[in-house]
Structure 1
Amino acid sequence: MAAPDISVVIPLYNEAESLPELAAWIDRVARGNGLTYEVVMVDDGSDDGSWETIEGLKRRYPAIRAVGFARNYGKSAALYCGFAEARGEVVITMDADLQDSPDEIPELRRMILEEGYDLVSGWKKRRHDPAGKRWPSKFFNWTARTVSGIRLHDFNCGLKAYRRKVVKAIEVYGEMHRYIPILAKQAGFRRIGEKIVEHRARKYGSSKFGMERMVKGYLDLITVSFLAHFGRSPMYFFGSLGTLMFLIGGATTAWIIGAKLYKQAHALPLRAVTDQPLFYLAILAIILGVQLFLAGFLGELIDRNSGERNNYLIDKTIN
């Protein structure tokens, strides 16, 4: 069976009301532009009848395929499974709440195929969200740009386009869907572009995300940044920091003891070593240094036994 021109991956959670309109819209856009397509819907444990709605849509639109989770695992898990199922030459992701417009699909596909991008991320320049969501999002995106060096305005936009090999090469887990451009860059896909897209007001239901996503977002940013620099060699980070703290603590302890011996030899007034707070700080630095070094050593042992340690993305060969 020939691969379709596009795969549209749609993670969803309790979006039964919007699905019929979304499926009809995607079908209209694809047919209007002469594109073969498939829609991969991933039901993330919905309890509002979304799965039954998908079953009904399948009878009307044979291009629909679906995966249903037994419980809610989160958007990253849904995207991971959707990427695994996608067969299209270009993979498009969008949310199921009708805030992303399928009319953007042809231009996103063109940018991938004709302009040579590996990934094109949508930018909702004009957003229909309250200020309480817009301003934290701006700060979050500024931080992500600063850390990653990727000049995108909206990392978390659900509307993105990818070459198929990109989605097959990256692993989206935890809450890492916010950082797919960073994961793609780490995998070797550096041609990352951006397109201003329409952000439509929510028509059905309510947002499934609260403010706790901001806390999770920054924790995940720290994780993905650390893995980018030290994921293959944790000893470089923990070992270096541990060695530095051990040396500082050891040198401070030696200085304290040496100063006491000098004062004793010259009959100078002195304090007991154990009466000096600096001595305990030095001992603490030594202990922490040893623990950090051992953490790096254990991390290195775990990494060297990983089955994926020597999995590399090979883009070109000559035989």
Structure 2
Amino acid sequence: MNSLSIVVPIYNEVENIPRLYAALAPVLKEMNREYEVLLVDDGSTDGSKAELDKLAQLDERIKVVEFRNNFGQTAAMAAGLNHASGDILITMDGDLQNDPTDIPMMVAKIEEGYDLVHGWRKNRQDTYINRKLPSKLANWLISKTTGFPVNDIGCTLKAIRREVAQELELFGDMHRFIPILAYWRGAKCAEVVTKHHPRRYGETKYGISRTFKVLLDLITVKYMIQYLVSPMRLFGSMGLLSGGLAALAGAATVAMKVISGVDMTGNPLLLLTVFSVMVGIQFFVLGMIGELGTRIYFEVRRTQPYAIRHLKNFDIQQKFPRAYDESRAA
């Protein structure tokens, strides 16, 4: 039976920590599996550290990762995933808006054969103007841009197979794009409707300004999933477009000079030709630098631009016939 690791980033949730434990403990006990709960303190300043220390002393299955400073939710999520030891990793918020009773359903979905299951807060209990409306617009844009069908990319409640989570590289504010990053690596994903509760204690850490961060992160994700392995496809295409524009502008310039005898001093088409040639060269150079950077990236990190689901018959030692008899050759 698969063991579980519950990963919860914590930032100034002193009132919610004991209530979170009280909500998680009976659910996990009823599942009758080995489990651990990793609470990652992201530099809290409200007394959360003391509450986490109490829980760690009370229950050895509570593991605490304490940051030296506030590094953000993505860093806290990455630390939790990196320190988790379970077969299935569950991520959730520490504000009790995610419901722990959804965990068994999501684990069952994973054991049906999925690699990642992410929640959909269909009946979201948040304010409409500054939370629900921006979220709907962002989810629509993300789905159209990446080609990944999703209704709620921002839901923290997820279940992930350990081997898939280990492949994730989370930086900046990329935690909300975990399903897309996993899907890009070939993970089989499913979205399920989950319960959602209004925040009762503490203050929300998000505002409408987060929408702009999501848009910037979306550009990064789009580049990663489509052009990371071969940047020349992007920059080379832009270079070809610039070169084509330069050719058209140059042909028009020559025609104006030869046919009409127009003075080319300061002619806009001549300037456009020169500018397009220069820009095109720069795009090709960026593409070559990007290709070199990609090769260095994969070599230094000792990773491959592919993900293997299964290997079959590799545990069987095979004896291959020699190409020639070594004794005769001697």
TM-score w.r.t. length of structure 2: 0.89
Residue 122 of structure 2: aligned partner: 125
Moved more, 242-251 or 90-99: 242-251
Q: Tell me how far 1:278 sits from its aligned partner.
A: 2.4
- Bigger drift between 13-22 and 252-261 goes to 252-261
Look up the equivalent residue of 1:45 and give its one-letter code.
G
Which residue of 2 is the match for residue 267 of structure 1? none
What RMSD, in angstroms, separates the aligned Cα atoms of the two structures?
1.7
Query: Which residue number corresponds to residue 193 of structure 1?
Result: 190
2:269 matches 1:308: no
Aligned counterparts, 1:202-281, within 5 A = 202-264=199-261, 270=262, 272-281=263-272
The offset of 1:259, in angstroms, is 2.7
Q: Percent of pairs identical after alignment?
A: 39
Q: Which residue of 1 aligns with 2:323?
A: none
Give the ranges of 4+ consecutive aligned residues of structure 1 lying more than 3 Å apart after TM superposition. none
Cα distance in 2, alignment partners of residues 22 and 310 from structure 1: 37
The 8 Å contact of residues 6 and 89 in structure 2, kept in 1 or not, is answered as: yes
What is the deviation of 1:130? Answer: 0.9
- Residue in structure 2 matched with residue 166 of structure 1 by the alignment: 164
Paired amino acid for 1:261: V
State the match for 2:277 in structure 1. Answer: 286
1:95 corresponds, among 93, 109, 114, to 93
TM-score (normalizing by structure 1): 0.92
Contact between 2:35 and 2:86, CA under 8 Å: does it hold in 1?
Answer: yes
Deviation at 1:258, TM superposition (A): 4.0
Deviation at 1:103, TM superposition (A): 1.0
| Contact 1:4-1:87 within 8 A present in 2 as well | no
Deviation at residue 227 of structure 1 after TM alignment: 1.3
Tell me how far apart the structure 1 counterparts of residues 110 and 69 of structure 2 sit (CA, whole Å).
34
Using the TM superposition, give the Cα deviation of residue 228 of structure 1 relative to its aligned residue in structure 2, in angstroms: 0.9
User: What is residue 61 of structure 2 aligned with on the other side?
Assistant: 63
Q: Is the 8 A contact 1:303 1:309 kept in 2?
A: no
Structure 2 partner of 1:146: 144
Structure-2 separation of matches of 1:180 and 1:227: 13
Tell me the SS of whatever aligns to 2:126: coil
Residue 19 of structure 1 aligns with which residue?
17
Between Structure 1 and Structure 2, how many residues are aligned? 309
- Counterpart of 1:134, as a letter, is K
> What is the identity, as a one-letter code, of the residue corresponding to 1:313?
A
The alpha-carbon deviation at position 188 of structure 1 amounts to 1.2
The alignment partner of 2:159 has SS state of: strand
SS of equivalent to 2:207 = coil
Amino acid at match of 2:83: E
Superposed CA offset, 1:44-64 (max 9, x none):
111112112111111112101
